């Protein structure tokens, strides 16, 4: 094994981004082919590409995971992370963006800027990642370079600047005019290395205008270059490269290239530009730690690396993808997990080429690598030398947008299924597994239907278990709307000692800062925050010792027990004040159990007379869509009892904000996908609990009664 490691200044970390089907995987393949990393180009259709190597991706014909591969190019090592275009796998994109220094935004020449592109752009700007646009599929008969650039400029601002353009599009796409180098690249029908030719006279005015705009952008950030530019009216290629490197690194320019990846026309020039102009980890701003400290990628510092992705492979176990932040990572390194304090040994360092892993001696700061079988390390963990403190800022993953309940057809497999799901939850931070005792269901929360289908597929293929989806129950809450008094006597006479307790209680809706209960003498008040949200206030108002104060905790326990399974639908109760003001006890027959039972029954009866109300969770959602489908989306939302709270246009997209009951959101992601042909996105977060309409309340109470009766029959 030779030392193939590359120094920081010669590393380029590039992430491929774009809407589903725009051609990222094919462009990755062309870049690998151009660099000689592979000897022939595979295709997505044949399932032979380096990056979509899992069986499920080949079956579906699109990327579901991010894939790390790399190409050597004139002394540089270009790490390329291909990512899925579907919004359901946004976690794979965000984690890749975290470790990339340049984003390659791929646009489809026939479709222009799509909703998926917009969403990704928000992440690119929030990370401050330098970005290059590549308009791919120039050989498509509907390809329109100028329209796509225009859309990109409208949407992402005037810093989007074409650096080249196609002489002809569609089936005749065979030459690119390059305004950086001021040459024309002409391609053979089979693609590959172009022939350099002078720019035709007819194209010179357009090429020069583009060239001058680029020279100005390059000179803008550097006084020395500015002086050169004023003196000579132009810059040398070297000066221009230097200026563009600064401009790109500071998001001052987003250059636009064009190519046909499938025909391998133009991908080499993109590689050349990444090599010459894209920043290395040595050129990017320092990274920050949780302690607020800023650090550079320093090979002489103690070792520190960050795990940005983990996945478990059959026969291999846990595979960890990481970026080196400081020091040189070598096989056999003993490091400490800064997140949980455990010790980890890096048994072997690998370079990744899609599914292939090549052992390598060491990796320099800024490089991306892989290791196997770490025991206690997952995504978002920092591994570092003993001496270091703090950890690398975490990746923030979006909230789940869809939920479903899961069951195993056989009871005996349920335990295995839970174990497998928890393992997947550790690998995939956008998946949340919830074991809900109140709903008596296991609920998984994900990014969309495709995400959940993929999890089911992996449960079946990797773990050999069956998993079925069923409609998730809704975590309703119960409360009351007015005050009610109740007296309950519990009396049981059997053989020897009996049970006796009598409780007088008042229930009322609770809110912070309300006055003491009217007409009662309050001895003590306890206000508890309930685990599920809301509060219980418990006032002890017994005067003259009709109930011994030692029974107060048993009475409160009874109330608490009933609050966990409310009288209407068995849901959690919240925001209630209970005042115990009188009662009776027996010197022999009264005990904790008797008072607990009396309290449960008194509370239940009082609750039902206090204007009981079921509350339902409301989600706040935001849908981004094109004008054309807006009416259909609004119409669909109205069938879901939605309240539209706002509409904005954002570029050539519409944003609809609405409040929708969670019970109406089931399978929303699939419906939205079909209404919009996959060209709309939505995000959701929990808003608040509000009262359900009377007809729905009645229906829920009846359903609950029927369920209870059925249980009693069994």
CATH fold for the domain made of 287-384: Elongation Factor Tu (Ef-tu); domain 3 (2.40.30)
Q: What is the pLDDT of residue 59?
A: 62
The residues of the chain that CATH labels 3.30.70.240 are: 614-695
Q: Are 569 and 614 in contact (CB under 8 A)?
A: yes
pLDDT tens-digit map of 5-18: 788 889 999 999 98
* CATH architecture designation of domain 10-276: 3-Layer(aba) Sandwich (3.40)
- pTM of structure: 0.81
Q: φ, ψ for residue 95 (rounded to 5)?
A: -70, -35
What does the H/E/C string look like for 402-458? EEEEEECCCHHHHHHHHHHHHHHHHHCCCCEEEEECCCCEEEEEECCHHHHHHHHHH
The residues of the chain that CATH labels 2.40.30.10 are: 287-384
pLDDT tens-digit map of 230-289: 777 777 777 888 888 888 888 889 999 998 888 888 888 888 899 888 988 988 888 888
Name the percent of the chain lying above pLDDT 90: 35
The residues of the chain that CATH labels 3.40.50.300 are: 10-276
The residues of the chain that CATH labels 3.30.230.10 are: 478-610
pLDDT tens-digit map of 374-422: 888 888 899 998 888 888 989 988 888 889 999 888 878 888 888 889 8
Measure the CA–CA gap between 375 and 500, rounded to whole angstroms. 57
- CATH 1.10.3720.10 describes domain 614-695: no
Going by the DSSP 8-state scheme, the letter that residue 314 receives in this structure is T
Q: Are 586 and 547 in contact (CB under 8 A)?
A: no
The domain 403-473: what is its CATH number? 3.30.70.870
Measure the CA–CA gap between 705 and 85, rounded to whole angstroms. 46
CATH number (3.40.50.300, 3.40.640.10, 3.40.50.150, 3.30.230.10) of 478-610 reads 3.30.230.10
Q: Are 479 and 613 in contact (CB under 8 A)?
A: yes
Strands 102-108 and 131-136: parallel
pLDDT tens-digit map of 458-473: 888 878 888 889 889 9
């Amino acid at each position: 094994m030779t030392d193939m490691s590359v120094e920081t200044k010669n590393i380029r970390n590039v992430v491929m981004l774009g809407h589903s089907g725009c051609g990222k995987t094919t462009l990755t393949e062309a870049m690998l082919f151009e660099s000689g990393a592979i000897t022939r180009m595979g295709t997505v259709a044949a399932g032979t590409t380096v990056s979509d190597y899992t069986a499920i991706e080949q079956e579906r014909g699109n990327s579901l995971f991010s894939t790390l591969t790399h190409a050597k190019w004139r002394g540089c090592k270009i790490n390329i992370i291909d990512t899925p275009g579907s919004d359901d796998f946004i976690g794979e994109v965000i984690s890749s963006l975290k470790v990339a220094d340049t984003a390659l935004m791929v646009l489809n020449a026939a479709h222009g800027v799509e909703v998926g592109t917009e969403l990704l752009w928000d992440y690119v700007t929030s990370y401050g990642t330098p970005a290059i646009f590549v308009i791919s599929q120039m050989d498509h008969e509907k390809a329109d370079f100028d329209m796509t650039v225009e859309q990109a400029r409208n949407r992402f601002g005037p810093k989007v600047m074409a650096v080249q353009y196609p002489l002809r599009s569609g089936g005749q796409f065979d030459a690119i005019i390059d305004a950086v180098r001021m040459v024309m690249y002409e391609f053979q029908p089979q693609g590959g290395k172009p022939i350099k030719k002078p720019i035709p006279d007819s194209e010179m005015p357009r090429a020069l205008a583009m060239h001058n705009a680029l020279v100005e952008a390059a000179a803008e950030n550097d006084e020395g270059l500015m002086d050169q530019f004023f003196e000579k009216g132009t810059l040398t290629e070297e000066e221009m490269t230097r200026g563009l490197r600064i401009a790109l690194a500071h998001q001052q320019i987003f250059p636009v290239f064009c190519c046909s990846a499938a025909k391998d026309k133009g991908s080499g020039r993109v590689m050349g530009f990444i090599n010459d102009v894209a920043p290395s980890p040595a050129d990017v701003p320092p990274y920050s730690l949780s302690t607020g400290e800023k650090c550079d990628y320093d090979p002489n510092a103690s070792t520190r690396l960050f795990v940005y992705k983990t996945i478990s492979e059959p026969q291999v176990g846990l595979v960890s993808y990481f970026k080196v932040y400081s020091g040189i990572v070598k096989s056999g390194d003993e490091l400490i997990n800064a997140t949980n304090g455990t010790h980890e040994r890096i048994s072997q360092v690998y370079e990744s080429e899609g599914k292939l892993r090549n052992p390598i001696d060491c990796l320099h700061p800024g490089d991306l690598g892989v290791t196997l079988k770490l025991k206690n390390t997952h995504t978002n963990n920092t591994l570092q030398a003993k001496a270091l403190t703090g950890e690398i800022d975490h990746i923030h993953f979006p909230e789940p947008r869809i939920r479903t309940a899961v069951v195993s057809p056989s009871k005996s497999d349920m335990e295995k299924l839970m174990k497998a799901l928890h393992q997947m939850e550790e690998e995939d931070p956008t998946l949340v597994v919830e074991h809900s005792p109140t709903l008596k269901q296991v609920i998984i929360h994900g990014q969309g239907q495709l995400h959940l289908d993929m999890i089911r597929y992996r449960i079946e293929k990797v773990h050999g278990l069956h998993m079925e989806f069923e409609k998730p129950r809704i975590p309703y809450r119960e409360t009351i709307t007015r005050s009610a008094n109740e007296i309950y006597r519990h009396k049981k006479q059997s053989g020897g000692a009996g049970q006796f307790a009598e409780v007088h209680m008042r229930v009322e809706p609770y809110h912070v800062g309300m006055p003491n209960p009217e007409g009662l003498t309050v001895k003590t008040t306890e206000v508890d925050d309930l685990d599920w949200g809301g509060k219980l206030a418990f006032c002890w108002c017994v005067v003259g010792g009709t109930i011994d104060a030692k029974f107060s905790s048993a009475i409160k326990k009874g109330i608490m027990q009933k609050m966990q399974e409310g009288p209407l639908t068995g849901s959690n109760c919240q925001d209630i004040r209970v005042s115990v003001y009188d009662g009776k006890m027996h010197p022999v027959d009264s005990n904790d159990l008797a008072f607990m039972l009396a309290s449960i029954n008194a509370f239940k009866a009082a609750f039902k007379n206090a204007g009981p109300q079921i509350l339902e969770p409301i989600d706040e959602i935001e849908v981004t869509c094109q004008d054309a489908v807006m009416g259909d989306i609004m119409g669909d939302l109205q069938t879901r009892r939605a309240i539209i709270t706002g509409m904005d246009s954002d570029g050539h997209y519409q944003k609809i904000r609405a409040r929708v009951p969670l019970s109406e959101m089931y399978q929303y992601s699939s419906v939205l996908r079909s209404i919009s042909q996959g060209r709309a996105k939505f995000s959701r977060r929990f808003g608040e609990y509000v009262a359900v309409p009377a007809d729905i309340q009645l229906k829920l109470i009846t359903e609950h009664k029927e369920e209870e009766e059925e249980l009693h029959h069994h």
